[in-house]
A and B are shown apart, each in its own frame.
Chain A
Amino acid sequence: MPLLKIDDKEFQVESGSTVLETAESNGIEIPHYCYHPALEVVGSCRMCLVQVEGMGKLQVSCNTFVGDVPPDRKVDGKYDMVVHTQNDLVVQERKNILEFLLLNHPLDCPVCDQAGECYLQDYSFKFGNAHSRFEEDKRVRPNEYLGSQIVINQNRCILCSRCVRFTQEISGTSELFVEARGYNSKIAVLEDNPLDNLLAGNVADICPVGALLSTDYIHKNRIWNMEQKPSVCQDCSVGCNVDIFSQKNQIFRLTARENQDVNGYFMCDIGRYGFHRFEEIERVSQPMARNGKSFDVLDWEEAIQKTADLIEKSKDKTAGIVSPFHTNESNYLLGLMMKDTLGTLPPITREEITYPSGFRISADRSPNLRGMNDVCGHLEEDFSSIIKTRDIRGLYILDDGVDRELDDTWKDILAKMDFIIVQSYAMTELAKSAHIVLPGLAPFEREGTITNDKGHIQWLRPSLVTIGDSKPDWEILMLVINALDKDSEHFTDLGEVIKNMSDHFSSYSDVSLFKIGAQGMALNGKSA
């Protein structure tokens, strides 16, 4: 393994690694724009230039490979390569490249969305000159819509070509291209083929400056105003890792978070913009009981007691409906409560979409089907018939939250029930047909674990506070269980539920939030 020296630190590296890769994975900052670990290396921004001993010209560290050299060519007798990133030559060079980049860059920082998270700002501050020496007229071009979700401010673009390479290599849709050449180069789309694929939002993420902007987020906020919480997307069973940015209990945007075991570096637009769905829905925030055509508000004690009474009286004639949209803990507890008869509503599926890079949007558009199947115990397959054969009179439903049209079989079933208890956060059609509605949390308020379709269990974390009298779904279920059985366990927090769940199911043994952390973990050390 070749020995690389960067400044005053030594590294044993794999033969064929680049200087930039080594620096990145060891916390040494070498500024760069066009390099991205998921994309082909082009070496065009010239920002990552470093001095390599023995080579006259400065080298781009993104394309400088370290390999074993014969003993008589080793530097100082032991190094296969010695690189300087802080000497005068490199420091001056960074200033020069930044100067070139800023020649035509508008002084937009006060009005630019990228402010605070802009690599041009950051590097200028760290490595650049304090003033411009450019006396000429700047190149000025109008903004353009590249697609319905992405607008480009052409004047800010530094032509790093990350976005073009993204559409060629990752989404494979090749909408973006470079038009013209030299000083007149610019990023463009063909009129009849705009940037409208489901991965389009990622180009705004990977754009190092404020050129490519999301039309959804544009002019709405700045990074320093917002709280950033890591979590997991809930719009399909891939479970892309995300960062959720919110301020004053309002979500402004989601960006992809890196996880090499799940989604790589990217996420799709369904999940990216999906949070808007929850902004205008009719929320349920208090326990309610049906009174004719309307609902009376109850307090929690009443509601829990009423629920428990209904279930007790029906004795074995109650069934539970778990949900692939709910966390493992919620499904687990409903499973404990209704161990005899458990089923699910018909699944929500759309097309499976795969991209050339391997990025996937799964056909299953629920986040936790696998987890639900893992931790509920026995789920009846032909649930609707089981309901008939066992003469089920009452249902306790964990509502998906998806406002859906149920088919006639299910409409029939619901109409014939003596009682329906729906635990939901919104007045879905299902909730409207309930006798008791128990207000749980909306997806961005929930905390718990979910398991993706490859058996990777991940930590769902809340970004919004609970509203009204809503309670976490696991807590509501626990309270009902406690009311049904005075000796049942009373969990004080989510961690205790997880412990209990992991004791029950061997494939989830050893699971804890601490172990799951930000990157999740494979069940039993294996991913499916």
Chain B
Amino acid sequence: MNSNGAPKENFIFENTTKVKNILSQYPDKQSATLPLLHLAQSENGYISGAVINTVSGLVDCHPAVVMDCVSFYTMLYTKPQGRNIIQVCQTLSCSLNGADALVDQVTDKYGIKPGETTEDDRFTLMKVECLGSCGTAPVVQINKEYHERLSRKSFDELLESHQ
């Protein structure tokens, strides 16, 4: 999950079995790039230069090609993030159901604007696009979980419960 941001010098995968499994699933090495990056991010907290070097060696590509890929996707972070990443959906259905107020709620409570992290690394706030659960708007994703039909109160409790 999210580390407290300390970068590692040379990135070595902890779960080497998983790495092997991933590589064996695809007919072409480069296809394993995204799953390896996901695994690395879950272990390292973010995609550092060391991660890129390790992954590029495993998939037989130049590091620049891997970086090209990393920089395209919003879920891959090239900088350390807070321990809890609050992603508030801002697309139409959620926006029509109070998403903006949720963003303000975080700003008021923890003093961070979208894109910022609290001093103690507890929260990073992000505005994201459609999370694919419009029927239960407004929706917030914190780390890996979806939280739906949020009210001011339930959101408050949710935030409190994340250390």
Q: Which residues of A contact B (CB under 8 A)?
A: 168, 173-181, 188-193
Contact = CB atoms under 8 A, between A and B. Distances in A.
B71 A190 contact: no
B62 A179 contact: no
B139 to A, nearest CB: 23
B162 to A, nearest CB: 29
Contacts of B52: 190
Interface in B101-141: none
B64 A174 contact: yes
Contact of B62 (A174, A181, A188, A191): A174
11 contacts: A173-B62, A174-B61, A174-B65, A176-B64, A178-B68, A178-B71, A180-B72, A181-B71, A189-B64, A190-B64, A193-B64
Interface string B40-59: 00000000010010000000
B65 A177 contact: yes
Contacts of B63: 190, 193
Contacts, number: 36
B22 interface: no
B67 interface: yes
Nearest to B68: A177
A331 to B, nearest CB: 44
Contact of A180 (B49, B64, B65, B71): B71
Contact of B67 (A168, A173, A181, A190): A190
Nearest to A186: B71
Interface in B63-99: 63-65, 67-68, 71-72
Contacts of B64: 174-177, 189-190, 193
Nearest to B72: A181
A179 B72 CA distance: 7
B93 to A, nearest CB: 22
A188 B49 CA distance: 15
A193 B53 CA distance: 11
Nearest to B64: A177
B65 A192 contact: no
Contacts of A188: 67, 71
A400 B123 CA distance: 69
B49 A192 contact: yes
Nearest to A167: B64
Given A174-B65, A179-B68, A193-B63, 20 more contacts: A168-B65, A173-B62, A174-B61, A174-B62, A174-B64, A176-B64, A177-B64, A177-B65, A177-B71, A178-B71, A179-B67, A180-B71, A180-B72, A188-B71, A190-B49, A190-B63, A190-B64, A190-B67, A191-B49, A192-B49
A109 to B, nearest CB: 31
Interface hub of B49, B64, B65, B68 (most chain A Cβ within 10 A): B64
Contacts of B68: 177-179
A437 B52 CA distance: 60
Contact of B71 (A174, A175, A179, A192): A179
A518 to B, nearest CB: 37
A173 B65 CA distance: 10
A189 B62 CA distance: 11
A190 B70 CA distance: 12
B67 A177 contact: yes
A178 B71 CA distance: 8
A192 B49 CA distance: 10
Contacts of A192: 49
Across the A-B interface, the 4 shortest Cβ-Cβ residue pairs: A177-B68, A174-B62, A177-B64, A179-B71
